[in-house]
Structure formats: C-alpha cells, structure tokens
Amino acid sequence: MPTPQDFFDIDIRVGTVLRAETFERAVKPSIRLEIDFGPELGIKRSSAQLTVHYTPELLVGRQVVAVTNIGTRNIAGFTSEVLVLGAMPDPAEVVLLAPGHPVANGVRIG
C-alpha cells in the first residue's frame, strides 16, 4: 500500500512552456514542449498528447504542472524528460493541470 512518503518522493513542479511544436513522428498525436522550471532544474523537454484541446500556439507562455524526477523516455527518437500532468476525461483527451494564479517557475507542488 502506498504511503504519504511515496507521494512526497515524487517531485512535481510548475513550469512555463517556452516552445511547443507538433510532433509529427509520434505514433499518437502529440506536441513537443520545452518547459522552463526555473534556475534549479532549468529547461526540460516533454512529449505530451494534448492535441484535443491545445495547439502549440496556445501552449507557449502557459504554466503547466509536471513530474520532474521519474527519468527519461524515448518517444520516436525524442527524449522526454518530464511528465506533464492533466485530467483525462477519456483515454485520448488531456486537460492540463495548472496553478490558479501565476507562480515562479520551479515552485513545488505538494
């Protein structure tokens, strides 16, 4: 059974999307992201299946919430370093989680 410490071991942070582009090589429709997590973590990359509700243009400048310490994943030759979090009303639909007010990049969720 998971413990509260298991949750606290997951590093969840807020970052701002600096760059977003359609990821043509991905098997499932996706967008490649570069996200600024502040001076401690820097800029990280992610591939996210966000195309139901978002375009690359809508994502640039937006704050997102992501898990930053679960390792990397190779997706169609692209190294995804963080897992962007969202609610999933159905398996193909992601609604991004974000703070209700702007916060500094790198702020921890917990």
> Considering the domain boundaries, does residue 63 fall inside one?
yes
> Considering the domain boundaries, does residue 108 fall inside one?
no
> Considering the domain boundaries, does residue 40 fall inside one?
yes
SS3 for the chain is CCCHHHHHCCCEEEEEEEEEEECCCCCCCCEEEEEECHHHHCEEEEEECCCCCCCHHHHCCCEEEEECCCCCEEECCEEECCEECEEEEECCEEEECCCCCCCCCCCEEC
| Residues 6+ away with beta carbon under 8 Å from 38 | 13, 15, 104, 105, 106, 107
Q: What is the CATH number of the domain that holds 77?
A: 2.40.50.140
Percent of the residues in the chain that have a pLDDT greater than 90, as a whole number: 89
Query: Would the pTM of this model clear 0.75, i.e. be above it?
Result: yes
Share the mean pLDDT of the chain.
Answer: 96
Residue range of the domain that includes 50: 4-100
How far is residue 74's CA from residue 55's CA, in Å, rounded to a whole number?
Answer: 22
pLDDT of 92 > 90? The answer is: no
pLDDT of 80 > 90? The answer is: yes
- Measured in residues, the chain has a length of 110
Domain count for the chain, please give it. Answer: 1
> Considering the domain boundaries, does residue 15 fall inside one?
yes
